[in-house]
Amino acid sequence: MAGLVVLNVKQRIEWLAVVLLLAGLAGCSSTQVMAPDTTTAPAANEETVWQAGGLATLDQGQHHPAVSALLKQAEQARQGGNWPKTMSYLDQARQIQPRNAAIFYRQGWVSWQMHRPEEAEQLLRRGLLFSRDKGLSQRIRWLLVDVLEDQGKQAEAAQLRADLMQG
Amino acid sequence: MDNSARAGSKPKAAATTKTAKPSPKRAQAPKKHTTAKKAPTAKKASTSGAGKPSRWRTAWRISWQLGLVGMLVLGVWMVFLDAQVQQQFDGKKWTLPARVYARPLLLYPGRLLPPAQLQAELEWTDYQSGAVSRPGRYQQQGSRWRIHRRQVNFWDGPQPQAVIELTLVDQRVEQLSVNGKAVPLVRLEPQYVGGIFPSHNEDRELVTLDQVPSDLLAALVVTEDNHFFEHHGISLRGISRALVANIQAGGVVQGGSTLTQQLVKNFFLTSERTLMRKAQEALMAILLELHHSKAEILQAYLNEVYLGQAGRRAIHGIGLASRFYFGKPVQELELAEIATLVGLVKGASYYNPRRHPQRALERRNLVLGLMAKQGLIGQDRYLEVSRQPLRTADSQRVSQREYPAFLERVRKQLQEDYRREDLETEGLNIFTTLDPWIQHALEVSATTQLDRLEARYPALAGKLETAAVITSVDGAEIRAMIGGRQAGYFGFNRALDARRSIGSLAKPVVYLAALRSGRYHWGTLVDDSPVQVTGQDGQLWQPQNYDGKSHGLVPMVDALSHSYNQATARIGMRVGLEQVARTFNDLGLQQEVPPYPSVLLGSQELSPLEVAGVYQTLAARGFVMPLRAVEAVATASGKTLSSYAIHGHQGVAAEQVDWLRYGLEQVVNDGTAKKLLTRFAGPLAGKTGTSDQQRDAWFAGFDNRHLGVVWVGRDDNQPMPLAGSSAALPIWQQTFAQAGVEPLLPTGLPSVVVDADGQILEDGCDGRSMPMPISAIKQVPKPCQTVSKPTEGERKGWLDWLF
C-alpha cells in the first residue's frame, strides 16, 4: 500500500513535470505566436493550463500547414506514450523546415523525456543556433538548464540560469 | 497434377512413375498381410493340435513380428513427419526478405515539385497514366493532377487507397486534396528499391486468399489439380491417369502430384527424386490435409510457388509475380494475365512470357481453354481473351530494379539493431532516406560524364570508375549513392569500400585548423614559395603546385580557392600536424589521422562516404551527424519496430565553420570550381581535389539543401589526365542541375575590410571585404590613412628627400 502511495506521488511529480514542460513548449512556433510563459509559473497553475486544454501540446502555435499536421501526429503519439514515434513525426516536420528552431525545441524536449539528456542538449543548442525569436530562445535556454542539470553539469546550468534571471 | 498433360513435365512426374513400380520388398507386403489375417485360424489349429509348431506357424510368427515392427516404424515416422508438418507449417511458413523502400514523396502546398519529377516518381512506383477509376492510375490535365494512390503500408501504419488531387503552378504544389477534401500534407506510395535477401535470394510478397481474384483460384485448380477440393492430399485417380499417360507416351509427360503434394515438396523437401522422398511427400500431404483446411493449403501454395527469376531475386508466390510481370498487385490482374501466371506454374523458365512469348501465349490459351471447358468462363469470353496479345510490364523498369550501393549501407546501419536472419526472413518493411529523383539524376550524370571523358581520352575507355554520395545538409540523410559506374551492379561498392587519397579535399580542414588557431584570418598573407619539410624518418617532402608555379605572398583565401599546395603546406606546418589531425576528428572522422606532413595535402585514404561525413559537418555548420540511410522499420503487418531521427553533436563551433565557408565559396566564385557559376547562381561552397599524380579526382560541394561528394578514378589506381575540376565536378554539376540548386543563405558573420598586407582596417576604408567573427578580431582596426598610398609630394623616406 505504501508502495502504491509512493508510486502515485512519483506519477504526480512526473505528470507535473510533463505539464510544466509542455506548457513551455506550447508557445513556441516558427511564426512567433507567443504563449503565456508558464515555465516559471507556480505548479498549481500548470495543471490548470493543461486541463484547460489551452497551450500545453506539441502541436500548439501557428506553423506551416504541413508542419502543423505532423506536429499534430506527434502530439497524438505522445499522448499514446510512444516517444520514438513522437520523435519521428517531429523529425519529418524538421525535414520540411530543417532550420525551424521550434521543432528543435520540441525534439530536444522529447529527447529529454526519453532520458537522453546529452542528445537533448545538442538538439536544444541546435535550436538556439537557428532561433531568431527571443522568446523562443529563452524557453530553449530554460529547458537547457534542466537538461544540463540532468547530466550533472551543475556549474554550466547555474551560470545559464543566472544569465536568464538577469534577462 | 497438371491436367494439361503436356511435354516438359516437372521432376515430380518422374517420381510418380517410379512409385508405380513396386519394389521387391513391398511386393511381399500384401502376402504377409494376408497371412496375418489368417492368423487366428492357424493359432486355433495349433493350440488344438499336437504341440509342435509347424513351419507355417513359424513363418506366420516372423511375418507378424516383422509387420508389427514395420507398423511401429511407420507409426514413428508418421509421428515424426506430423511434428515436422505442424511445426513448420504452423510456425514459420515463408522466408520473407525485408523490403526496402525509398522515402515517400511528400506533397504539401508550397512544395517545390517539377512536373517531370512527379510523373517520374509515379511511374517508378508502377502507376500508369489513365482514368483514375482504380488504384495505380494517374491523370494529368494541364496543371491539374489526379492520382489514385493504392493502399500503402507506411512506417507508421497502413493508409487506405485514396484519390489525391493537386495543382502544380510554377513547379510548386498549390492546391492539395484527398478524396475531395483539402489537406495540408499527403504521402505518395514509396518506391521499392530492393530487398535484404538470404543467400538463396528467395523473394515473395504475401497474399491472402481474399485478395486473390476468384478467376485465378479457379484457373489454378482446373489446370494443376482439378480434384483439389475432393481428395485428401493425394489423388489415386490423378496418379493412375499420369501413369497411363506416361506409359502410353513412353516417358514422363504428366505428373500425378496434387497441389498439396507440390506444396509439401516445395515447402518441406528437397528436389531429390527418390522413392523414399515420394513416399514422404505423399504421407506429409495426407498429414497436411488432416490438420489444415483446403483454403489454408491453397493460400500457402499461392505464396510458395516459384514463378521466375529477376536478377538475383527468385520470384516466389503469386503476389510478387503479379508485380514483377505486370506491375500491379494481384487484385488488379485481368483474366489474360491470370492465365499467363497460372501457365507459369508448370515451368517458370520454360514459359517465361518475356523470353519465350510464343510458348507463354500457347500455355496461357491452354489454361483459358481448360477454364472454358469446365464452364468457368463462357465461350465468348474465352475467344475474346485468347485473341489478346501477350502483354507484360517491362522487366527493366525502375520499380523492379535495386540500388546495391545504397542497400549495402542500409544493411550495415540495420545490423547495428537487428539480427541478420531477422532482416532476411521476417518480412520487415524498411523505410529509407533515398530520394529516387536525386538518385536518378546522379546515375544519369555519372554515366554521361564518364562516357564524355572516355570519348575525349580514348586510352581511358572502359577504365574510369566513380562513386558518389549525396546527403541532406541539415539532417545527414543519405539521398543518393552510387558505388560504381554501373549503379545496378552488385559488386565492389566504391562509395563505402574504396579508400583513396583525398588530395586537396583535405585543405579545408587545414584552413579550418588555421582559423581556429587565432593566428590567421582570410586576408592573412601566406607564402606560396617552394617549401620542403623533413619528416621524422628523415624523408624530404617537397610539395609542388598543380601548375608547377610559385605565387609568392597571397591572401590565405586565395591559397584555398586556387588550391595552392606550397602555401597550404606552410600553413599546416605552422598550425601543427596534431591540430590538423584533431580538426579532422572534430569534424567527425572516426579514424586516426597520422601526423605526417603529406596529410596536409590529402595523402590519407578515405572512402567517399567518409569524405561525405567530414564535409557534412562543414555543410551543417559544425554539427557532426552520422550519415543516415534508414528512417524506420516496420513489421509486415504495419507495426513500427523502430524509427530514427536526427542526432549529433556540435563538433566545431558554428561560427568557425561559417567562417570557413567563406573560403569554400571563393573556390566556386573565383577558384578551381568557378565553372559551376556558368550554370548556377551562387553562392555555393565546394572544393576540388586531385591526388598525387592525378590518380584520384574529387569534388565535394554543397548548396543550401544538399551536399554531394563525387570521386572519379581507376580501379588499378593508375594516373589519369584528369583533375577534380574536369572529372568529378561535372558529375556534381549535372546532378545538382537536375535535383535543383538552392543558393546558400548568408551566415550572418560581420565583414571586415582587409588591405593588401592582410591588415584589418576601419569600416569604410578601401580594401577587400571578408567575413570574420567578432571573437576573432584581435587587433584594433587600423585607420584608413595609415596604410593608404603616399600622396604625391609627400616624402616618406630618406630616398624621397634625395630625389
CATH superfamily ID and name for B403-499+608-745: DD-peptidase/beta-lactamase superfamily (3.40.710.10)
Confidence band, pLDDT 50/70/90 cuts, at residue B270: low
How many Cβ atoms from other residues are within 10 Å of residue B316's Cβ?
Answer: 24
Domain count, chain A: 1
Q: Which of A16-25, B39-48, B212-221, B696-705 has the lowest mean pLDDT?
A: B39-48
Cis peptide before B594 (omega within 30 of 0): no
B174 catalytic per annotation: no
Question: Residue B191 gets which letter from DSSP?
Answer: P
pLDDT > 70 in chain B, percent: 89
Is the pLDDT confidence value at B19 over 60?
Answer: no
Residue B61, exposed/middle/buried by CB under 10 A (0-12, 13-18, 19+)?
Answer: middle
Q: Which of these, B611, B625, B416, lies nearest to B494 by C-alpha position?
A: B611
Q: Which overall architecture, per CATH, does domain B202-398 show?
A: Orthogonal Bundle (1.10)
Was domain B104-189 assigned CATH 3.20.20.70?
Answer: no
Distance, in angstroms, between B111 CA and closest chain A CA?
Answer: 9
Measured between CB atoms, which of B621, B623, B646 is closest to A91? Answer: B646
From CA B270, how far away is CA B276, in angstroms rounded? 12
Tell me whether the CATH fold assigned to B202-398 matches the one assigned to B403-499+608-745.
no
From CA B633, how far away is CA B430, in angstroms rounded? 5
The C-alpha R_g of chain B, in whole angstroms, comes to 37
From CA B430, how far away is CA B423, in angstroms rounded? 9
CB distance B639 to B628 below 8 Å? no
Q: Which residues contact B400 (CB under 8 A, 6 or more apart)?
A: B192, B310, B323, B324
Q: Active-site residue among B121, B165, B202, B224?
A: B224
Question: Hey, which CATH number is domain B503-603, 3.40.50.1370, 3.40.710.10, 3.40.190.10, 3.40.50.150?
Answer: 3.40.710.10
Q: Which of these, B122, B7, B97, lies nearest to B317 by C-alpha position?
A: B97
Q: Which residues of A touch B (CB under 8 A)?
A: 64-66, 68-70, 73, 84-85, 87-92, 94-96, 98-99, 107, 118-119, 122-123, 125-126, 129
> Strands, E, within B183-288: which ranges?
186-187, 192-196, 202-204
B643·A88 Cβ contact <8 A? yes
Model pLDDT for residues B623-641, shown as the tens digit of each residue = 999 999 999 999 988 889 9
| Per-residue pLDDT, B645 | 93
Q: What angle do CA B492, B496, B497 make, to 5 degrees?
A: 55
Query: Would residue B288 be called left, alpha or beta, if left means φ above 0 and alpha means ψ between -120 and 50 degrees?
Result: alpha
The cell for B146 is 489526379
Confidence band, pLDDT 50/70/90 cuts, at residue B160: very high
Kindly identify which residue of chain A lies nearest to residue B653, measuring between CA atoms. Answer: A129
Buried b (16+ CB within 10 A) or exposed e, B779-797: eeebebeeeeeeeeeeeee
Q: Cα–chain-centroid distance for residue B438? A: 14
Q: What are residue A82's phi and psi, to 5 degrees? A: -95, 90
| Per-residue pLDDT, B271 | 65
Measured between CB atoms, which of A69, A73, A84 is closest to B642? Answer: A84
Model pLDDT for residues B408-423, shown as the tens digit of each residue = 999 999 998 999 989 9
Measured between CB atoms, which of B183, B185, B650 is closest to A122? Answer: B650
Domain boundaries, chain B: 104-189, 202-398, 403-499+608-745, 503-603, 751-802
Positive/negative CA dihedral, B648, B649, B652, B658: positive
| Per-residue pLDDT, B255 | 67
Residue A59, domain CATH: 1.25.40.10
Is the pLDDT confidence value at A25 over 60?
Answer: no
The helix (H) or strand (E) run that includes residue B495 is: helix B494-497
Q: Active-site residue among B504, B563, B598, B607?
A: B504
B504 catalytic per annotation: yes
The helix (H) or strand (E) run that includes residue B761 is: strand B760-761
Mean pLDDT across B214-241: 88
Model pLDDT for residues A127-159, shown as the tens digit of each residue = 999 999 998 999 999 999 999 999 999 999 999
Kindly identify which residue of chain B lies nearest to residue A100, measuring between CA atoms. Answer: B474
B185·A65 Cβ contact <8 A? yes
Mean pLDDT across B574-602: 94
- From chain B, the residues in CB contact with A122 under 8 A are 623, 647-650
Strand pairing report for B313-316 and B202-204: parallel
Question: Residue B601 gets which letter from DSSP?
Answer: G
What does each C-alpha distance from B242 to B27, B276, B581 come to in angstroms?
21, 19, 77
SS3 B193: strand
From CA B470, how far away is CA B615, in angstroms rounded? 11
Q: Cα–chain-centroid distance for residue B557? A: 41
What range defines the domain where residue A136 resides? Answer: 2-166
Mean pLDDT across A90-116: 95
| Arithmetic mean of pLDDT over chain A | 75
From CA B134, how far away is CA B163, in angstroms rounded? 9
Q: What are residue B436's phi and psi, to 5 degrees? A: -60, -30
CB distance B413 to B203 below 8 Å? no
Mean pLDDT across B6-13: 34
ipTM of the complex: 0.78
What does each C-alpha distance from B540 to B532, B535, B568, B597 come to in angstroms?
7, 6, 17, 10
From CA B478, how far away is CA B626, in angstroms rounded? 10
Measured between CB atoms, which of A68, A91, A95 is closest to B184? Answer: A68
More confident residue, B468 or B329: B468
* Pairs across A and B, CB distance < 8 A: 71
